[in-house]
Amino acid sequence: ANISFENYKVNDDGDYEIYGDIWGSQSYHPQHHHKLYSVNLKLYREGLPGEVTVMIYAAEDDEPIGSALVTGATDGDTLTTDSGGEWREITFPSQIELIPGLSYAIVVHITGGSGVQNLHWLYDGTAPLYYRGMYAISTNGGDSWSAWITRDFMFEELGRSSGELQYGGCELVDLTFSDPNGEFTIRRFFKNNSGESRTVNEAGIYASGAHITALTHPGHTYSFCIAHDIVSPAVEVADSELLRVTYVPQITV
């Protein structure tokens, strides 16, 4: 089954009108390697906008670049006319691999339309909390873009893990100290949502470092490996099965 990866689904307080050469885009940086199957967008219509085209692009500086990686569509004439919008899922005819560390953009437009026959894509324009991408607009059919760090469109991208186990949380327990030494237990959980069995040959722990504050790459963090081990014998993790990895760091002075 498809699961949600990157998304921003709360606090919409505005909408952007899309028609003709006026296009909208939302960039995002996936945290997990996965195959993209569909996107959910919060939309409403004015009049009869016709077919809505939704494309995925690679992005640079949070703006779409190159050619579309995959294209899908939905019937805009069946959208709600309520300005509160509705969530509409657009399924792509083929799947693409999304790679952590790379940037992608969801691009939305319609052919033709007017000030009374158009599409509206809802956004948060007050204090958006999605830090791995941003809103961008084009007024020339995607030839050039203007990105806004102060806005995020409402979106959700859905897919399936591609060869990796999805991180499912961490527990820190059993803290014991005998001055000045001590130890504690770290338990990390991973869910296999890849659709098939996976073999684990290595295990490790990465810790997040400081946030990068540059405007063009908000929300990115440095990370570093604090533990790495070969798993022998290898462990088979069936589809939908949960894997637990336990480490006991010891502090010795």
Partners of residue 118 on adjacent β-strands: 46
Give the pair of three-digit tokens for residue 16: 């952007």
Check residue 167 and give its pLDDT. Answer: 73
Check residue 223 and give its pLDDT. Answer: 64
Pairing relation of β-strands 34-46 and 146-148? unpaired
Residue 240: Cβ-neighbour burial (10 angstroms; 0-12, 13-18, 19+) = exposed
42: pLDDT strictly greater than 50: yes
Check residue 86 and give its pLDDT. Answer: 98
Helix (H, G, I), strand (E, B) or coil at 145: coil
250: pLDDT strictly greater than 50: yes
Check residue 211 and give its pLDDT. Answer: 52
CB 225 within 8 A of CB 206: yes
CB 192 within 8 A of CB 165: yes
Phi, psi angles (nearest 5°) of residue 76: -65, -20
Mean pLDDT on 129-154: 96
Check residue 162 and give its pLDDT. Answer: 67
* Nearest-5° Cα angle at 182, 190 to 179: 160
Rounded-to-integer distance, Cα 46 and Cα 156, Å: 23
Between 125 and 216, residue with greater pLDDT? 125
Between 32 and 4, residue with greater pLDDT? 4
Partners of residue 146 on adjacent β-strands: 137
Give the pair of three-digit tokens for residue 197: 């069995």
Highest mean pLDDT among 14-28, 189-203, 235-249: 14-28
Check residue 133 and give its pLDDT. Answer: 94
Domains of the chain: 3-161 (2.60.120), 166-251 (no CATH)
Check residue 222 and give its pLDDT. Answer: 58
Residue 149: Cβ-neighbour burial (10 angstroms; 0-12, 13-18, 19+) = middle
221: pLDDT strictly greater than 60: no
116: pLDDT strictly greater than 90: yes
Between 165 and 17, residue with greater pLDDT? 17
* Nearest-5° Cα angle at 99, 22 to 126: 45
Instruction: Give per-residue pLDDT as tens, 185-218.
Output: 999 888 887 778 889 998 877 776 655 554 444 4
Average pLDDT taken over every residue of the chain: 90
Check residue 253 and give its pLDDT. Answer: 86
Check residue 202 and give its pLDDT. Answer: 87
Check residue 84 and give its pLDDT. Answer: 97
244 HSE (CA, 13 A, CB side)? 5
CB 110 within 8 A of CB 74: no
Which percentage of the chain shows pLDDT scores above 90? 66
